[in-house]
Structures are given as C-alpha cells and as structure tokens.
C-alpha cells in the first residue's frame, strides 16, 4: 500500500506554501539591491521551476521580458501576468535562441539527483548571457525547518552541497542569507504542512509503504510534536526556514 497524503491535504500544503512563503520577497529585494544595477534597462528573466509564479510577479516590474518554466500546469494555472511567456516544460526540455540576463532557480534542486547538480548548473549558465547572472535559492543547514527534516533524516539537497559543487567546478559565486517562513491559523493546517515536508522529503514511497500501522502512528505523533513547537505567542503557527541565495555571475 502506498502511504501518502490525500489530495485535500496536498492542496492545503501547497496553498500554505503559495500564500505565506516569503522567498519571493527575499529574492525581489536581493535582485533590486545586488543584481539590477549590473543589468541593462528592461532585462530578460528566465524563472526555472516557477511554481505558482510569485517570484516572477515580484520581479516583473523590473524586466522587459519574462519566461516561466513550470511543467506542472496545476501549479501555475491561476497566474495572471500580462506579457509573460509560460512554458510547460523542464529545464532539460527548454530551448531558446537568446540567453537571458537573469536566470532564477528557486527551491528546485531538491528534485534533481545530487549527481546531476553540476550538469544542472551548467545548463542554467548556458541560458545566461555573458555579463548576466544566475540566482539559485536553497535551504540552509540551520533553522526550524531544517531541524524538522533532520529529526527524520539528514537533508541532502541543501546549500552547502551546492557550494561544494561550485567550489569543485571553480565557479565564482557569492552567498547571502535569507529567512523564509510559512504560517497557518490552525494546528491542523500546520500539521498537514509538516507532514507534507516529512513524507515528501524524508522518506521514499517504498519506505512509507513498508511501515507498520504502529510505526506510522509513531511517525505522525513525532510530527505533531514539531507542529506544537510552531505555535507563536500571537496564536499563529509559524515554521521558519533559513535559506541561502547563491549568485553566480556569467563571465
């Protein structure tokens, strides 16, 4: 039997991520302060793994053209961003006759095998024009959400591993910290989000299917303890996540 969340629980988790995450604001401020002064007027943007499009919406006023790659049509179907080109494909499938001034890849490498990270970065840079930038966002090895994941398995897709890849490739880069957060008004909503992170990131479907009923109940009890820790003094449940913005210039 395949153990997973129900469609309603997935909808709750994705809804909380889309509505309450602050990564688009973190990216927006960083791009305005660190990247835009070095780009031409009305530059071009490629958003790889655009999700619901919140990052592109935040950056749109600064760019003359926007291309959003998102293979999941349901993720992005509600986006209304005039002038944006939405491509339902992966980075591997994408082609373009012109490079982009800025290529953004936010929280996507979790879905790429670590052995392929070097090639993935090469492909991101292949779409970046000389003098432009590639900006990658990944979770850091600190903070509340990292502690949640580490209590079940050691996270692999984290920023230090990408920094290791870049050092081995001798690729110039710089790193800036950022704090993200997800919030929910009820225990049930936040518990669904915590279960989503644990079920999706810490275990394979085969590992979950092999668990006994008692083991699954113990797993959920452990997740509930983490959910209880998310309750803030104002009555809102918050799960903080520390990220790192990794900026790679294209020579």
Please name each of the domains of the chain with its CATH number: 21-183+240-249 (3.40.50.150)
Query: H/E/C letters for each residue in 78-99?
Result: CCCCCCCEEECCCCCCCCCCCC
Mean pLDDT of 239-243: 96
85 Cβ contact partners less than 8 Å away, ≥ 6 residues apart = 65, 66, 67, 68
Instruction: Name the token pair of 67.
Output: 């291309």
pLDDT recorded at residue 78: 76
Query: With 0-12 CB in 10 A as exposed, 13-18 as middle and 19+ as buried, what is 46?
Result: buried
Q: Do residues 165 and 144 lie in contact, with contact meaning Cβ atoms separated by under 8 Å?
A: no
Mean pLDDT of the residues in the chain: 93
What pLDDT score was predicted for residue 2? 44
Tens of pLDDT, residue by residue over 114-134, are 999 999 999 999 999 999 999
Residue 3: predicted pLDDT: 55
pLDDT, residue 244, reads: 97
For 62, the token pair is 């600064």
What mean pLDDT comes out for the span 239-247? 97
For 125, residues 6+ apart whose C-beta sits below 8 A from its C-beta are 103, 134, 248, 250
Q: Looking at residue 35, what DSSP letter applies?
A: I
4-60 pLDDT tens trace: 789 899 999 988 998 899 999 999 999 999 999 999 999 999 999 988 889 999 999
What is the pLDDT confidence band of residue 1, given thresholds at 50, 70 and 90?
Answer: very low
pLDDT digits (tens, 9 = 90+) for 67-111: 999 888 877 877 888 889 988 989 999 999 899 999 999 999 988
Residue 156 has pLDDT above 60, yes or no: yes
Q: Which residues of 48-82 are buried (b: 16+ CB within 10 A; e: fewer)?
A: bbbbbbbbbbbbbebbeebbbbbeeeebbeebeee
Element housing 30 (H / E): helix 23-30
Share of the chain above pLDDT 70, in %: 99
Axis-axis angle for helices 213-229, 187-201 (nearest 10): 120
């Amino acid at each position: 039997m395949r153990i997973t969340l129900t469609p309603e629980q997935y909808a709750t988790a994705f809804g909380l991520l889309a509505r309450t995450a602050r990564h688009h604001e973190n990216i927006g401020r960083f791009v305005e302060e660190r990247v835009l002064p070095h780009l031409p007027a009305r530059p071009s943007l490629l958003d790889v793994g655009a999700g619901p499009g919140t990052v592109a919406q935040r950056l749109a006023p600064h760019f003359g053209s926007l291309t959003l790659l998102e293979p999941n049509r349901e993720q992005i179907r509600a986006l209304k961003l005039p002038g944006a080109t939405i491509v339902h494909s992966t980075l591997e499938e994408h082609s373009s006759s012109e490079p982009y001034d800025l290529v953004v890849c936010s929280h996507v490498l979790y879905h790429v095998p670590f052995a392929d990270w070097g090639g993935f970065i090469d492909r991101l840079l292949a779409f970046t024009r000389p003098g432009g930038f590639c900006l990658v966002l990944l979770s850091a090895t600190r903070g509340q959400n990292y502690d949640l994941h580490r209590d079940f398995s050691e996270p692999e897709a984290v920023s230090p591993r990408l920094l290791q890849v870049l050092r081995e490739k001798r690729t110039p880069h710089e790193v800036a910290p950022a704090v993200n957060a997800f919030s929910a008004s009820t225990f049930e909503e936040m518990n669904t989000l915590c279960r989503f992170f644990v079920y999706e990131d810490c275990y394979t479907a085969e590992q979950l299917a092999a668990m006994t009923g008692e083991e699954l109940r113990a797993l959920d009890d452990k997740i509930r303890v983490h959910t209880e820790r998310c309750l803030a003094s104002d009555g809102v449940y918050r799960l903080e996540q520390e990220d790192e913005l990794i900026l790679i210039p294209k020579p």
